[in-house]
Amino acid sequence: MATTIDDVARAAGVSTSTVSYVLSGKRPISAPTRQRVERAIRDLGYRPHAGARALASARTHVLGLMAPLRVDVNVNVIMQFVTGVVTAARSYDHDVLLLTADETAGLERVASGSMVDALVMMDVEADDPRVPVLVGLRQPAVLIGLPRDPEGLSCVDLDFEAAGRLAVRHLARLGHRRVALVGSPRAVLERHTSYAERMMRGFTAEAAEAGLAAVVEPCESSMAGAVGAVDRVLERLPDVTGVVVHNEVALPWVVATFADRGRHVPEDVSVVAVCPPDVAVGQPLPLTGVDIPAHAIGRVAVEMAMARVGHDEPAETRLLAPVLVERASTRPALR
């Protein structure tokens, strides 16, 4: 180890710049020279020193990822975002530096310290305090989620409003007239995590336009939370026949509680789950659902970030169109 580019140059009988150019491909190299250099690199097991490279080229080949590592929410979805980001980053020859969401200072640290070429930030809230920080940085940033004011920042997310509408439309088509949304925990709503609000807005608007009776209930991510939410729904809308669930953790308990209260899915109640496909399929009864394509969102975030390093393309916001997949949990309403 500790081989440097000069060692390689010497071994290959060329100058250091030639080695550099063989590596970067930024200028044409004759076949024989290239081969001698490549051979020397292999023989010596040479790897360029990342720090030296970053210093000289102002590119770190590292992507900063700020992820919420709390254990409370839907760990699964987070994991899928992360794998999406890491996989995509690798395909751009970048590694991923992991920052936790509780550390706003981390953004400045890694950005001002030139540790990263770009940043991706998950789990953005409407008035996220980290957003103004991001705006001031030299590196491009991509948000997963939608802040109230994305001034100059790129954003990606599922179009949750359309997702809410899509779910309701599906139920309406099946003839359901009384629908409920069992949603995110109250704390999430109060944090104004925008996806929860957008979901709710879409659900409510579409139900209104379709002339459906509709109720919305927040739901804690636990068995107890699910039981409570279901009971509140049944109290407010006793003859509910269509339910949209937007809470991965509560999902199985919601279905179980309805059954426990004598409303079986899908005979008595149709359920549309808004969650990653594997969660919907992994349930005892495969659930009709609007997919949250976490992996894809992560990948798109990276693509958008990479498109902006070096080039100064303008920021853009991309909302992915939701897709509903029919499985076993929805049926035409009984008349």
Among residue numbers 29 through 88, which ones bind DNA (CB under 7 A)? 29-30, 32-34, 46-49, 52-53, 55-57
Q: Is 21 in the site for DNA (CB under 7 A)?
A: yes
- Residues 120 and 326: their CA atoms lie apart, in Å, by 32
The candidate with the shortest Cα–Cα distance to 241, out of 213, 218, 217, is 213
Looking up tokens 């209930």 gives 217
Say if CB 198 and CB 160 are below 8 A apart.
Answer: yes
- Least Cβ distance, residue 96 to its own copies (angstroms): 5
Task: Pick the closer one to its own copies by CB: 95 or 127.
Answer: 95
Is residue 96 close enough to count as binding its own copies by CB under 8 A? yes
> Taking CB under 8 A as the rule, does residue 45 contact its own copies?
yes
Among 19, 82, 156, 172, binds its own copies (CB under 8 A): 82
Instruction: Pick from 4, 104, 204, 317 the residue near DNA by CB under 7 A.
Output: 4
Judged by DSSP in three states, 241 sits in coil
Work out the end-to-end distance of the chain between its first and last CA atoms, rounded to an integer number of angstroms: 76
**Rg (alpha carbons) of the chain, rounded to whole number:** 25
Q: How far is the CB of 180 from its own copies (least distance, A)?
A: 24
Q: Which of 47, 238, 311, 334 binds its own copies (CB under 8 A)?
A: 47
Count residues near DNA (CB under 7 A). 31
Task: Decide if residue 317 touches DNA (CB under 7 A).
Answer: no
6 near DNA, rule: CB under 7 A:
yes
178-202: string of b/e by CB count within 10 Å (b at 16+)? bbbbbbbbeebeebebbbbbbbbeb
- What is the C-alpha to C-alpha distance for residues 298 and 67, in angstroms, rounded to an integer? 11
The answer to the question of residue 264 lying near its own copies (CB under 8 A) is no
Q: What beta strand segments (E) does the chain contain?
A: 62-67, 95-100, 118-121, 141-144, 154-158, 178-182, 213-217, 242-245, 270-275, 288-291, 317-320, 324-325
What does the per-residue mask of binding to its own copies show for 134-173, with x meaning CB under 8 A? ----x-----------------------------------
6: tokens are: 């000069």
Identify which range of 4-12, 70-78, 235-243, 288-296 contacts DNA by CB under 7 A. 4-12
Q: Which residue has the tokens 């009776």?
A: 213
Please, what is the minimum distance in Å from the beta carbon of residue 28 to DNA?
A: 3
By C-beta, is 55 or 105 nearer to DNA? Answer: 55
Q: What is the DSSP letter of 265?
A: T
CB nearer to DNA: give 4 or 87.
4
Closest contact distance (angstroms) between CB of 42 and DNA is: 15
Q: CA–CA separation, 152 vs 301, rounded Å? A: 15
Structure tokens at 176: 């359901």
Q: Which residues bind its own copies (CB under 8 A)?
A: 1-2, 45, 47-55, 60, 62, 65, 69, 71, 75-76, 78-80, 82-83, 86-87, 90, 95-100, 103, 106, 108-110, 112-115, 138, 222-223, 278, 282, 284
- Judged by the rule CB under 7 A, the positions of this chain that interact with DNA are 2, 4-6, 13-18, 20-21, 23-24, 26-30, 32-34, 46-49, 52-53, 55-57
